[in-house]
Structures are given as C-alpha cells and as structure tokens.
Amino acid sequence: MKAFLPLAFAVGLLAVGSGCQDDWQSFFVHDNKRLGEPPGCEIPTEASAAGLLGGLLDTDVSTSYAAYLFVENGMISRADPGLPRAESNGIFVQGAYLYYEPDPACPGSYPSQEVRFSNYIAPGGTATVGIWVIPPSVGQAMAETLAGCANGRLDVTVTIQMFGVTQAGTDMLTQEFDYPISVCAGCLIFCPTGIDLDPVADGCQCDCMNTEVELAEMPCHPGQDDYLDCRLSPECVR
C-alpha cells in the first residue's frame, strides 16, 4: 500500500515523548524524494523514484524548506480473518522531531522542533510524507546568521526522526535521518539570456519588465533546490 501526506504546516516546540522504541528495522526513512517537474510537481510514491542527497535554500526567496520523505513500515501483517485476529502492525504516524546541527564555520542557534500530522502505513507499506523540515521561524534565524558568514554560505544538517504508534499500542521511532542543506542569499536567482541589464557587473541585474524573452517555469518550491527566473523573484514581483 502506498500513500502520500499533504505538507504539514503545524510546527511547535520540541516535546520528546517517553517510552518510544527505536525500531529502525521496522519503521524507517529511506530518502527525500524529488518532486516531479512543474507545473504538475507530482509527489513520488515509488521507492525507485529519484531522491536528493542534500538541499539548497535561498533566503532571498524563501525561509522554509519542504522535504518529501519516503517512509516504510517493514513489519509483517498479523491479521487473520480465520481466527479472527485484527491487524496489530499497522503504524499510525503522528509527527516528526527536527534537530539542527549548525555550521561550525559560521555557528548559529536553531531550536529543535516538533511537527504534528497524521498518516497510516499498513504492514509492508510505504508513504511519501511532506513536511517543512525548515519552518519559516528557523529559516529566518538562519538568514540572520548567514548575514555574518564570511563566505556567504551556511551549511546545516537537519536530523529528522518520525514517531508514531502501532495498532497494538507500541510507540515507534524511525532512525535519525540526516539531511544536509546549504543556505545562501540570491544563489538560485538567475538572469535568462537577454534579461540582464548590465551583464558586465557581478550578479543578475534583472530587467523585471522584459516580456520578449520567454519566462522560465515557476519551480515547485521557489527558493528551494531549483533556479528561479529573476522576473519571478520577490525583487520583481513585490
């Protein structure tokens, strides 16, 4: 059984529950899936779909980063209509804990978070779960740290650990899934050929009103991972 969960927006302070077991063989995160091409931005539900090894966040465009985590319930089904015996090994996924390892070359302080959502993964099933692994409040703090970084780049590692409970009432935790994200300011904004007002000067001097050059497709998540046509940037659309 495969499913996906819409992006979870509710993010609160960390409150680690007690009594959970780290059952990594039975409940685990495979990778962060790459969305399909825009404008469809299809959410992958197959294990073979392309995953990302790391992310890039441009704080000139966005202060949040969304991940689409491919999660598996590796337990076998215990249901037996002949006894009868109800299923006990399905997992109700309840949320995720988020921890942030700052860049030692440009340290900052980013509070741990707890994301709450609801999903069900049947025994032997999978789900693609979309969550903000960098919510706006944390992204804003990273943008403030970035302003003081000598090289204009901030490398952080987000550690994600999902939690839930089985139908039998056993609390479950995935492994700690580490996902590196580089944070920059303006690095994903580009000038298509013929749009730069001053191609000699450093950076993109965008001709916001140019309609003669075809407009590039809007990314699925502007400011995240993919380049953005400068005419679609906040500087031009404000």
pLDDT digits (tens, 9 = 90+) for 176-221: 999 999 999 999 999 999 999 999 998 899 999 999 999 999 999 9
101-115 per-position pLDDT tens digit: 999 999 999 999 999
pLDDT of residue 203: 87
pLDDT higher than 80, residue 15: no
pLDDT of residue 24: 55
The answer for residues whose C-beta is within 8 angstroms of residue 226's C-beta and 6 or more apart is 188, 219, 220
CA 39 to chain centroid, in Å, comes to 19
CA distances to 87, 122, 168 from 81, rounded to whole Å, are: 9, 16, 17
Residues of the chain with pLDDT > 70, as a percent, come to 86
> Which two structure tokens, joined as six digits, stand for 163?
């939690």
29 or 81: which carries more pLDDT confidence? 29
164-173 per-position pLDDT tens digit: 999 889 999 9
pLDDT of residue 238: 73
pLDDT of residue 18: 39
Full set of structural domains in the chain with CATH:
2-184 (2.60.40), 188-238 (no CATH)
Amino acid sitting at position 123: P
pLDDT of residue 76: 82
What's this model's pTM, rounded to 2 decimal places?
Answer: 0.86
| Burial tier of 230 (Cβ tally within 10 Å: 0-12, 13-18, 19+) | buried
25-48 per-position pLDDT tens digit: 689 999 999 999 999 999 999 999
